[in-house]
Amino acid sequence: MSNPIDAAPGSQRADYSPAVHPAWVEVDLGAIADNVRALQATVGNVQMMCVVKADAYGHGLIPVARTAVAAGADWLATAQLSEALAIRAAGIPTPLLCWLHAPGVDFAPALEADIDLGVSTEWALDAVIAAAQSLGVTANVHLKVDTGLGRNGAFSPGEGRTDFAELVDRAAVAQAAGSINVRGIFSHFAAADEPNHPSVAAQHDAFVAAVALADEAGLDIEIRHMANSAAALELPHARWDLVRVGLAMYGLSPTPDLHSSADYGVRPAMRVIARVSNVKRVPAGQGVSYGYSYTCAEDTTLLNVPLGYGDGVPRHASSKADVLVAGQRRQIAGRVCMDQIVIDAGDLEVACGDEVVLFGPGDDGEPTAQDWAAAIDTISYEIVTRFGPHVPRVYLENAISDDRSNED
Ligand SMILES: *Cc1c(COP(=O)(O)O)cnc(C)c1O
């Protein structure tokens, strides 16, 4: 059963209509709900923060946020403030953290919307304090410590005065003055998908030291968190008080070299589908698509599939990734174009209007997002996030129920 549902207020998302759209992204919200519950069962008695940044990894911010909350998410998180504000505008009151900012940001709307702010830098701390003072409120802040990723977070390489120590001191002053409450301290792994990578233990040690520093400064931190999906699943000691789960809640494995989705008890929620728009017989030797990088070896049937790199099909998938057509896997023939791809269907019986599945959960033999990632040497994160908001989402809601009352 598929049920097109309304997009978030103000979003540019196209509502699916077969009268208009030749292709769409189907999102199984029931799978997401089941995944959230399965992951909570795996991580045990720690809080679950469901990461819905980047339009919920391409699955649709608001429908996914609602689903995650109904399935028991304690927290939601985004990178961008715009997405955090959209969650509040949709009437979702769940605790919410947002961590990626640049100078010029106005934190006042975030504080008015009761959004917790990740703070990595002194400029951001000053801006949060200023916004809190102007509103006369106390801002909830999670200090981000760079324990070795070398990305955002205040750097804390070891002993002595560090960027993070400076940030902690300033935060302690502001907390004493009542303008902020340092509710959390957090960090992020560089290689949690390789549990034996030496950086994992080093980062964990650095985080222990950073927590101790915050304690010594009297910050009385309520929530310490450093685990993404891979760490939540592979490194029980890194779960601390809360895990920040992204990829795994969408049913994809964060450690494809070690474990499959099924190993983790989750299933992919996204299926990308298009209707064949043109079917033709061509002779052996026919070149296909721009540059003729593919030539038909025999007399064959070519299918036109109306999705291209402008929609989210990576151009690197040219003559690499498979699709499912008429129950069979067939490779994309030649270059991916902006709006379309071509499939060499051989002698398969295919008609205009038949559905082609680019990738999905894999249940019917279609490739998975992980198969596409492996075919073009990237990660499944990139495959699912590429599909733009102009490709309509169709939400399957049949398996969702708000059964928090059944949980302990
Ligand atoms: C994206 C992100 C996550 C979620 O990562 P997954 O690997 O998708 O689970 C967690 N924490 C931070 C800081 C992130 O940027």
pLDDT in tens, 186-217: 999 999 999 999 999 999 999 999 999 999 99
Which pLDDT band holds residue 233 (cuts at 50, 70, 90)? Answer: very high
What's the confidence (pLDDT) of residue 16?
83
56: pLDDT strictly greater than 60: yes
Specify whether 290 is catalytic. Answer: yes
What's the confidence (pLDDT) of residue 161?
77
Q: What are the domain boundaries of the chain?
A: 29-252, 270-391
**Cα of 228 to ligand 1 centre, how many Å?**
5
Higher pLDDT, 334 or 6: 334
Q: Which CATH architecture has domain 270-391?
A: Beta Barrel (2.40)
389 by DSSP, 3-state: which? coil
**Cα of 60 to ligand 1 centre, how many Å?**
17
When pLDDT is averaged across residues 90-115 and rounded to a whole number, the result is 98
Q: Kindly give the number of the ligand 1 atom that is closest to the alpha carbon of 232.
A: 9
- Ligand 1 near 52 CB (within 6 A): no
Distance CA 330, CA 348 (A): 10
When pLDDT is averaged across residues 151-169 and rounded to a whole number, the result is 86
CA distances from 222 to 47, 141, 186, 229 (A): 12, 11, 11, 21
31: pLDDT strictly greater than 90: yes
What's the confidence (pLDDT) of residue 400?
52
7: pLDDT strictly greater than 60: no
Higher pLDDT, 15 or 139: 139
- Ligand 1 near 51 CB (within 6 A): yes
Mutate which of 51, 146, 235, 383 to test ligand 1's pocket (most atoms within 8 Å of Cβ)? 51
Which one of 53, 57, 264, 395 is the catalytic residue? 53
What's the confidence (pLDDT) of residue 404?
41
127: pLDDT strictly greater than 90: yes
Least confident of 72-86, 95-109, 146-160, 307-321: 146-160
Q: CATH says 29-252 is which class? A: alpha beta
51: pLDDT strictly greater than 90: yes
**Cα of 52 to ligand 1 centre, how many Å?**
9
Task: Name which of 362, 149, 365, 369 is nearest 253 in CA terms.
Answer: 369
By alpha-carbon position, which residue is closest to atom 3 of ligand 1? Answer: 228
DSSP result, 212-254 = HHHHHTT---SEEE-B-HHHHHH-GGG-TTEEEE-GGGGT--S
Tens of pLDDT, residue by residue over 255-270, are 999 999 999 999 999 9
**Cα of 26 to ligand 1 centre, how many Å?**
23
- Ligand 1 near 247 CB (within 6 A): yes
Place of tokens 């790199």: 309
Which pLDDT band holds residue 303 (cuts at 50, 70, 90)? Answer: very high
What's the confidence (pLDDT) of residue 322?
98
Specify whether 280 is catalytic. Answer: no
